[in-house]
């Protein structure tokens, strides 16, 4: 009888799953509020925890803009708040769903894949296209490229990476990944652009003679696919949170270094939900296990995000600076100088907590502290479009060109400091 009851209730649960909560994009607005005082910034910050709101872009310096997503049913109340607090603002888009639909139409009218199996960099690829690109690269350039199967996502997708190497053993290595946050499409195309530069441009062969490179274009494939098929602004993993109508965990708050200490939420509906425990997500476990398995060789970690134009380094849990703060800052400055030669784009440089916000449990903090990688960065690429993450596909190549020059600086530094010709 007990077994029958268990099966009965299990069947009812499957037949009547909890309806997932997703903030409606129809009629939702994105506001750009100008920071004119600490008090005004402090008044806005609490909205990051309120249902129906999300802060898409933060600001720390007076004159910066804070970008806030607000659902249609909260628009009147939020505009009253802005007026009452004398906060200057503009509206980036008065209907996020319309902006998403316009982006989707552009995607349909462009091809992300060229006839030779390589990415076109004129549209944002789906995950299958990224995988095909990695397979084709490993096949076409088997002399330097090796496809890596890093494990399965929560929904069973293989998380793939690509190793670029001229051969040899025990060479210092650089680890580069994107799309830990699924809606940040420009990071996927940028990491893929880096790979393309390695396999197609003979002028870059010097970069992998004395060091190895590991690339993971999409660390969160479930979330990434979900942004293409269901909900464009999805940020987290897609794991079911028992007892909640909200799914997913913020992968960049789920790492085991001062997990849940500050700058993370215990609310499963929040976009910064850190999960029930550190490394609860298979996607963060995949990165952890890969770093630990290659701890003797990985010397530099670059986690690409968007948006905001930042080179960030540890720590996220404290404003105390790491022992090698000057090295981290100087190296990022050199990368920024190189990137700026393309069209003058500049990035803000600093530790996560001092340059942006508190964020404990982030990947770059853990990779440095738990993985022993002294040079660990979070790179926030630029945004664009109407809601920040819809940066036009016409920007894929320019952003890729800029970012690759920065990547080259990072690589040359590792080659000089740790390089070997074994």
Q: Report residue 155 as tokens.
A: 């929904």
Q: Report how far residue 337's alpha carbon sits from residue 149's, in angstroms, rounded to the nearest whole number.
A: 35
The DSSP symbol for 74 reads G
Q: Report how far residue 286's alpha carbon sits from residue 310's, in angstroms, rounded to the nearest whole number.
A: 25
Strand partners, 379: 304, 311
Cβ neighbours, 10 Å, residue 297: 18
Q: Which of 103, 184, 380, 402 is catalytic?
A: 380
Cis-peptide, bond into residue 315, ω within 30° of zero: yes
Query: What angle separates helix 185-200 from helix 127-140, to the nearest 10 degrees?
Result: 10
Task: Kindly calculate the radius of gyration of the chain based on its CA atoms and give it in whole angstroms.
Answer: 21
Cβ neighbours, 10 Å, residue 163: 16
Q: Report how far residue 339's alpha carbon sits from residue 341's, in angstroms, rounded to the nearest whole number.
A: 5
Q: Is 380 a catalytic residue?
A: yes
Q: Report how far residue 114's alpha carbon sits from residue 121's, in angstroms, rounded to the nearest whole number.
A: 9
Q: Report how far residue 44's alpha carbon sits from residue 50's, in angstroms, rounded to the nearest whole number.
A: 11
Q: What is the dihedral of CA 187, 189, 193, 199, to 10 degrees?
A: 110
Q: Pairing between strand 298-306 and 212-216?
A: unpaired
Is residue 93 within 8 Å of 386, Cβ to Cβ? yes
CA 43, chain centre distance (Å):
27
User: Residue 396 belongs to what H/E stretch?
Assistant: helix 396-418
The DSSP symbol for 380 reads E
> φ and ψ at 321, to 5 degrees?
-100, 150
Furthest CA-CA distance within the chain: 73
Is residue 270 within 8 Å of 249, Cβ to Cβ? no
Q: Report how far residue 175's alpha carbon sits from residue 348's, in angstroms, rounded to the nearest whole number.
A: 22
* Residues acting as catalytic residues: 380
């Amino acid at each position: 009888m007990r077994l029958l009851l268990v099966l009965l209730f299990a069947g009812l649960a499957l037949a009547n799953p909890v309806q997932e909560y997703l903030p409606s994009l129809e009629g939702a607005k994105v506001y750009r509020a100008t920071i004119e005082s600490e008090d005004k910034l402090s008044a806005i910050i609490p909205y990051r925890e309120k249902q129906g709101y999300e802060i898409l872009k933060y600001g720390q310096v007076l004159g910066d803009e804070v970008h806030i997503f607000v659902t249609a049913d909260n628009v009147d109340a939020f505009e009253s708040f802005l007026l009452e607090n004398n906060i200057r603002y503009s509206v980036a888009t008065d209907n996020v769903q319309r902006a998403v639909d316009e982006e989707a139409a552009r995607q349909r009218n462009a091809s992300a894949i060229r006839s030779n199996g390589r990415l076109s960099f004129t549209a944002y690829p789906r995950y299958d296209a990224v995988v095909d690109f990695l397979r084709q690269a490993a096949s076409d350039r088997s002399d330097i490229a090796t496809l890596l199967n890093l494990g399965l996502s929560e929904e069973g997708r293989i998380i793939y990476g690509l190793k670029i190497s001229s051969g040899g053993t025990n060479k210092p290595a650089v680890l580069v990944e994107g799309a830990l946050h699924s809606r940040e499409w420009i990071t996927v195309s940028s990491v893929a652009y880096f790979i393309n530069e390695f396999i197609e441009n003979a002028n870059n062969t010097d970069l992998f003679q004395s060091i190895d490179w590991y690339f993971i274009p999409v660390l969160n494939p479930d979330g990434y696919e979900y942004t293409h098929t269901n909900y464009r602004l999805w940020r987290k993993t897609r794991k079911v949170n028992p007892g909640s109508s909200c799914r997913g965990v913020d992968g960049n708050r789920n790492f085991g270094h001062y997990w849940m200490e500050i700058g993370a939420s215990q609310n499963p509906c929040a976009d910064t939900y850190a999960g029930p425990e550190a490394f609860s997500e298979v996607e963060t476990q995949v990165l952890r296990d890969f770093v630990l398995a290659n701890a003797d060789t990985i010397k530099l970690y670059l986690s690409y995000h968007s948006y905001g134009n930042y080179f960030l380094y540890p720590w996220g849990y404290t404003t105390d600076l790491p022992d090698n703060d000057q090295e981290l800052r100087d190296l990022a400055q050199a990368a920024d100088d190189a990137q700026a030669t393309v069209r003058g784009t500049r990035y803000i440089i600093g530790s996560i907590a001092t340059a942006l916000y508190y964020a404990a449990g982030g990947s770059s903090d853990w990779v440095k502290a738990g993985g022993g990688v002294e040079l660990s960065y979070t790179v926030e690429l630029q945004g664009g479009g109407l809601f920040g993450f819809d940066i036009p596909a016409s920007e894929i190549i320019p952003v890729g060109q800029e970012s690759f020059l920065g990547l080259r600086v990072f690589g040359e530094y590792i080659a000089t400091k740790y390089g070997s010709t074994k």
